[in-house]
């Protein structure tokens, strides 16, 4: 926009596209930030977003410039001098402006704009006849000049009305005087709050005719410039004026014409408003997020494994494998005794539905089919270990985050125990704990049957021979292998080799049980890791992603 002040550095123009992008980025930051942003700043941001939409919807190229000042600063006199006619009532000792007054230059209708501003007192300013020497270079058409109530008025309604219109105008003209230019109310409550609005701000030191000399005027002006710098408003030149002597009134009018000529003050003000509130919100967001692995760490998985009873399950898997293996490959004459032993997986209610059936069932219906297991509930120490592991995850994720964001991370990493342990139990129940019988089971089983049959044949043969001898019947020729009768070899060989086979089967069963335990342990650990990731890590990463999106959107809204 055209600079309001001579000598000011060139300011980047806030185009309509830039303002729209800022507003969209601010809205995205609010959506991502949620309850982790300051509630008051969020409310202010939503008001500004609404104001952007409302201001852009108003037709015309009007520029709204507000004269704001304290009681007795000559604000209304300055308003009349700029308008070239007596529009505002002037009071000597008390404020007389209770509602804003508007002076409108040009033929373009400003009714909708003034309705939005809620300014009831409106005056049309006609172009002067002749060729006055103090008219600005450039037209004032499109200027809407507002005379506001005093912001230090004893009437609370006057102050609130001034603040309401100041929030909506395009350009601020702060009018002060030699007696009140250092007033804390002006600097602390107003100027300091608009540190990013120097492009749409002008400061007027009015009534300088009260000072005795030019040097006193210059000293007063320089002191006001110093105070403005302390307020954080740099680059705003102070213009000295006097309605009584007419000093610099044409210069002020020229500054207003410069602001009107660019037709950019409204967008510059909206851009500054968005950047300011985004800057306040940005203070509640960290510069970075912690780097968090996509999957759960070993400590968390170990704690959840203990809490879900995985050691108990793996012990049952080991015992079940050995029971099943020896039941199929053990000595044929003692194998039946193992059938009387309780099924370790059945005790835990982990054997009711084959894994092939579970693979065809919707995960949401698994609980209705298999119910709960009988695995012992996690002990207090196991639950504490889970909480400590989740706390470690929280501390890593929340490192460097503001309090509200750190609390969000903590809440995300602390789901209800019932939900977490329900998922863990479902994982254990639905994880395949058995596999296809290995080949050696069938081979050893057949061998044991052969050896057992050989022993039985040998025993029966010997019994028959004994009965024949006892009855004094004719002897039957018994085949021999070497010096040993075949029946004896069948009986002894069947018993001895069957026993050796049973011993070998026990050795192989221990090895197979260990491998099955490792396989099932890997399956359970993978499934529990998925639960940990889904229930704890993913929610935490979602908070961190929201934090990153909020930070990036706020930086876009701030134009940084």
> Is residue 500 included in any domain, yes or no?
no
In a domain, 142, yes or no: yes
The tokens for 56 are: 């852009």
Domain end: 255, 282, 309, which one?
A: 282
Measured CA to CA, the distance from residue 369 to residue 352 in angstroms comes to: 9
Number of domains in the chain: 2
> Same structural domain for residues 204 and 278?
yes
Q: Does residue 469 lie in a domain region?
A: no
Q: Any idea what the CATH number is for the domain that residue 264 is in?
A: 3.40.50.300
Alpha-carbon dihedral of residues 544, 546, 548, 554, nearest 10 degrees?
A: -150
Asked whether residue 464 is assigned to any structural domain, the reply reads no
In a domain, 148, yes or no: yes
Q: Give the residue numbers spanning the domain of 147.
A: 16-282
Q: Are residues 245 and 353 in the same domain?
A: no
- What's the pLDDT at 367? 47
98 and 69 both lie in a single domain: yes
What band does 54 get if pLDDT is binned at 50, 70 and 90? very high
Which range among 122-131, 386-395, 424-433, 549-558 shows the weakest confidence by mean pLDDT? 122-131
What is the rounded CA–CA span in Å between residue 82 and residue 3?
19
Please tell me which of 18-27, 287-296, 460-469, 535-544 the model is most confident about, judged by mean pLDDT. 18-27
| Domain shared by 264 and 221, yes or no | yes
C-alpha–C-alpha distance, residues 25 and 33, integer Å: 12
Tell me which DSSP letter residue 474 carries.
Answer: P
Q: What phi, psi does 175 have (nearest 5°)?
A: -105, 120
Residue 391 lies in a domain: yes
Q: Across residues 137-166, what is the average pLDDT?
A: 87
* Residue 290 predicted with pLDDT over 90: no
CA angle 525, 527, 530 (to 5 degrees): 110
Q: What is the mean pLDDT of residues 440-465?
A: 90
One domain, residues 71 and 141: yes
Regarding whether 316 and 247 lie in a shared domain, the answer is: no
Is 267 domain-assigned?
yes
Sign, Cα dihedral of 352, 355, 356, 358: positive
Strands 201-205 and 101-105: unpaired
- Both 109 and 170 in a single domain? yes
pLDDT at 320 over 50: yes
What is the DSSP-derived secondary structure letter of residue 392?
Answer: H
The reported pTM is 0.76
Distance CA 201, CA 4 (A): 8
- CB-based contact 459:495 (threshold 8 Å): no
DSSP 482: T
Residue at 303 is within a domain = yes
Q: Are residues 394 and 328 in the same domain?
A: yes
Same domain for 309 and 425: yes
Strands 238-240 and 143-147: unpaired
β-pair partners for 63: 143
For residues 127 and 256, membership in a common domain is answered with yes
């Amino acid at each position: 926009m055209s600079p309001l002040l001579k000598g000011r550095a060139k300011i980047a123009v806030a185009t309509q596209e830039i303002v729209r992008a800022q507003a969209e980025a601010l809205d995205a930051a609010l959506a991502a930030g949620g309850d982790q942003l300051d509630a008051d700043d969020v409310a202010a941001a939503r008001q500004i977003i609404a104001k952007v939409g409302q201001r852009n919807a108003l037709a015309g190229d009007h520029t709204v410039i507000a004269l704001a000042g304290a009681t007795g600063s000559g604000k209304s006199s300055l308003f009349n001098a700029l308008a070239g006619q007596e529009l505002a009532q002037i009071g000597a000792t008390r404020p007389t402006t209770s509602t804003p007054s508007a002076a409108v230059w040009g033929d373009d209708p400003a009714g909708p704009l003034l309705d939005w501003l809620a300014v009831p007192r409106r005056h049309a300013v006609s172009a002067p006849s002749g060729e006055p020497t103090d008219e600005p270079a450039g037209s004032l058409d499109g200027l809407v000049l507002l005379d506001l109530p005093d912001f230090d008025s004893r009437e609370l309604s006057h102050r609130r009305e001034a603040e309401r219109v100041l929030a909506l105008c395009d350009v601020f003209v702060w009018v002060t005087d030699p007696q009140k230019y250092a007033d804390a109310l002006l600097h602390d409550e107003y100027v300091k709050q608009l540190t990013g609005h120097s492009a749409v701000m002008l400061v007027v030191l009015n009534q300088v005719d009260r000072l005795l000399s030019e040097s006193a005027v210059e000293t007063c002006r320089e002191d006001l410039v110093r105070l403005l710098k302390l307020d954080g408003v740099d680059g705003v030149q102070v213009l000295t004026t006097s309605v009584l002597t007419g000093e610099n009134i044409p210069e002020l009018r020229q500054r207003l014409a410069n602001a009107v000529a660019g037709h950019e003050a409204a967008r510059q003000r909206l851009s500054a408003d968005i950047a300011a509130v985004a800057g306040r919100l940005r203070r509640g967001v960290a510069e970075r997020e912690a780097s968090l692995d996509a999957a759960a760490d070993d400590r968390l998985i170990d704690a959840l494994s203990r809490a879900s009873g995985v050691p108990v399950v793996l012990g049952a898997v080991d015992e079940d494998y050995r029971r099943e293996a020896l039941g199929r490959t053990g000595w044929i004459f003692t194998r039946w005794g193992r059938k009387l032993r309780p099924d370790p997986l059945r005790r835990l209610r982990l054997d009711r539905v084959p894994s092939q059936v579970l693979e065809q069932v919707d995960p949401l219906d698994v609980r209705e089919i298999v119910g709960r297991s009988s695995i012992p509930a996690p002990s207090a120490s196991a639950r504490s270990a889970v909480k400590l592991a989740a706390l470690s995850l929280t501390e890593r994720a929340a490192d460097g985050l503001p309090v509200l964001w750190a609390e969000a991370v903590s809440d995300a990493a602390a789901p209800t125990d019932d939900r977490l342990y329900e998922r863990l139990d479902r994982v254990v129940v639905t994880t395949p704990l058995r596999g296809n019988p290995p080949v050696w089971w069938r081979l050893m089983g057949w061998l044991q049957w052969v050896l057992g049959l050989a022993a039985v044949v040998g025993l029966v043969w010997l019994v028959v021979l004994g009965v024949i001898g006892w009855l004094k019947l004719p002897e039957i020729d018994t085949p021999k292998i070497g010096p040993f009768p075949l029946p004896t070899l069948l009986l002894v060989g069947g018993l001895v080799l069957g026993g050796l086979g049973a011993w070998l089967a026990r050795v192989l069963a221990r090895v197979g049980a260990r491998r099955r335990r490792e396989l099932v342990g890997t399956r359970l650990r993978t499934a529990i890791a998925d639960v940990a990731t889904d229930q704890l890590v993913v929610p935490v990463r979602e908070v961190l992603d929201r934090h990153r999106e909020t930070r990036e959107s706020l930086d876009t809204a701030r134009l940084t």
